[in-house]
Amino acid sequence: MESFVVRYRNLLVLLVLLVAQILGLAMQVRRTGTGQTGDGQGVRLIRYWADSIVTPPERLLHNSGSGVSWLWHNYFDLRHVRQQNADLQKTVDRLRLEQAALLEDAKQGQRLQALLNFQQKYIYKTLPAQVIGSSGTDQSRVFYIDKGRDQGIDRDMAVITPDGIVGKIRDVFPHSAQVLAINDQTSGAGVIMESTRIRGILRGNPAGQPQIEDVIRDQRIKQGEKVLTAGGDEIFPRGLPVGVVDKVVNDPERDGFVQVVLKPAAHLDQLDEVLVITSTEPRFPPDQQQDMATSEALKGAEAEQQKTSEGMAEKLPGLLDPNLPADQQPLNDTSNPNPVSRPPMAIHPDRFTPANASTSNPAAASAGPDGGPAAVSTVPKKKSTTPNPATDQPAKNPPAPPAAPQGGNR
C-alpha cells in the first residue's frame, strides 16, 4: 500500500486537487430546471449529484422491502384467508339465490297482475290456477293444476291465458285437475280464420304443434293470418285467440285437402298460471251492471205505464165506429179539414124530436114569446117541392079572427 502511494503520489495529489476543485465548483454552481447551469435560482450541482448517486440504491431498497412485504402477506401469512374466502363464497351464493328469488317474484308478480287485469275485464267468470306438474312424456300433452272439484272445477271446462286458449279439463280430482292441451293429438276444438272465415277442427300433430284439419285447399290462406275459436264445440267461447298460421302443408292421405299448422298464441311450453272458465254467463263490470239495472227499472216502469194505459182504454168508450170503414173513422177521416159537430139523426123521429118540434105543433111555432101572434117576416120563403102531409091538408077549423081592441071605435 505504501509502495502504491509513494509510486503514484503525484498523481493522487493531482486527483485530490481536481476533486476538491470540482466540489468547490459544484457548491457554487446552481442547476436550473431546464437542465442548463447558471447563476439563477435552482438546485446546487453538488446536491443534484448527491441525489443522483443516492436515489437508485434507495429505490432499490424500497422496492425490495415492498416486494418482501407483499410476498409475506400474500403467500406466507394466509392463516385466516381460507376462512374468509369460504365466508365470502357463502355470502355470494346467498345473494345469488336471493337475487334469483326476487327476480322470479317480480316476474310472477307481473304475470299475476296481467292475469288479474284480464280476469277483471273478461266477461265470463274465471278461476285462476297454478300449474303444478306435467305428464312427463313427449307423446302426451297434459299438465296438472292446483284447483279441483272442491273449488268448482268440472270436466270440459276451457283453460285459457290472457294470450289465448290452452286446453280443456279432462280429469278432475278433489284438489287438482288434469288439463289436455290443444297441441295434443286427442284434443279438438272448433276454430275459424279471421279474414277468410274458413272453419276447421284444431288438433295436435305428433311434433306437438296445433294444426287445423279437414280444410279444403284455398289460395286465400296466407301465413300470419289470425285464427279464433268458432264457439261450436260448446267448450271454448267464440272469438278467443288461438294462434296465427305458420305454414300450409298438403294432406298426405287426402287429395285436395291441406293441414294448416299454427303458431299458438299462448306459450304452451312455459305455462305457470292459467284461468279456468267456470261459467259462460256474461259478467259485466260494476258500472255496466248499474247501467243495466237502471235500464231494466226504466223498462219495467214503461211496461207498467203501458199496461195501465191499456186498462184505462178498455174502460173508456171507444172512439171508433164499427159500422164505418177505416179511412172514415173520426180519428182517421181527413176528407173535411174543418168538421162541424152535428147531432145524430133519430132512427124513429116523433113529435118530441127537436127537428120535428116546429112541424108537429104549428100554433106553438107561430105564437110569440108572450103568447101573442108571432111577427110576420117580410122575406119571402122558398116554396118547398117536397110535400108535407102536416101542412098540405086543408084546415078543418079555420083560425078565429083576432079579437077587437077594448074601448070601442073612435
The per-residue pLDDT for range 209-220, each reduced to its tens digit, is 899 988 888 888
Model's pTM, two decimal places?
A: 0.47
313 phi and psi angles, rounded to 5 deg: -65, -35
319 is a domain residue: no
**pLDDT value for 381:** 46
What is the average pLDDT value for the chain, to the nearest integer? 75
91 is a domain residue: no
- What number is the average pLDDT over the span 173-192? 91
Residues 146 and 62 in one domain: no
C-alpha–C-alpha distance, residues 50 and 68, integer Å: 28
158 is a domain residue: yes
Q: Which of 259, 279, 299 is the last residue of a domain?
A: 279
Residues 21 and 137 in one domain: no
- Name which residue leads in pLDDT, 36 or 243: 243
pLDDT tens, 376-386?
Answer: 444 444 444 44
Which residue in 122, 126, 145, 171 sits closest to 284, CA to CA?
122
Locate all alpha helices (DSSP H) within 2-80, ordered by sequence.
2-7, 9-28, 45-71
Residue 293 has which C-alpha cell? 239495472
Q: Which of 279, 309, 337 is the last residue of a domain?
A: 279
pLDDT tens, 110-131?
Answer: 777 777 777 666 667 888 899 9
381 is a domain residue: no
Q: Which of 244, 279, 314 is the last residue of a domain?
A: 279
Which residue in 168, 167, 176, 128 sits closest to 269, CA to CA?
167
Number of folded domains in the chain? 2
272 secondary structure, DSSP code: -
- What number is the average pLDDT over the span 211-231? 89
Q: Which domain holds residue 50?
A: 11-70
Residues 45 and 190 in one domain: no
Residues 130 and 272 in one domain: yes
- Report the CATH number that the domain containing residue 163 is assigned in CATH: 2.40.10.340
Q: Are 326 and 332 in contact (CB under 8 A)?
A: yes
Residues 162 and 49 in one domain: no
* Residue keyed to cell 122575406: 379
Which residue in 170, 160, 158 sits closest to 275, CA to CA?
160
C-alpha–C-alpha distance, residues 99 and 105, integer Å: 10
C-alpha–C-alpha distance, residues 354 and 28, integer Å: 167
pLDDT band at 368 (very low <50, low <70, confident <90, very high): very low
Residues 53 and 186 in one domain: no
221 is a domain residue: yes
289 is a domain residue: no
106 is a domain residue: no
The pLDDT of residue 401 is above 80 = no
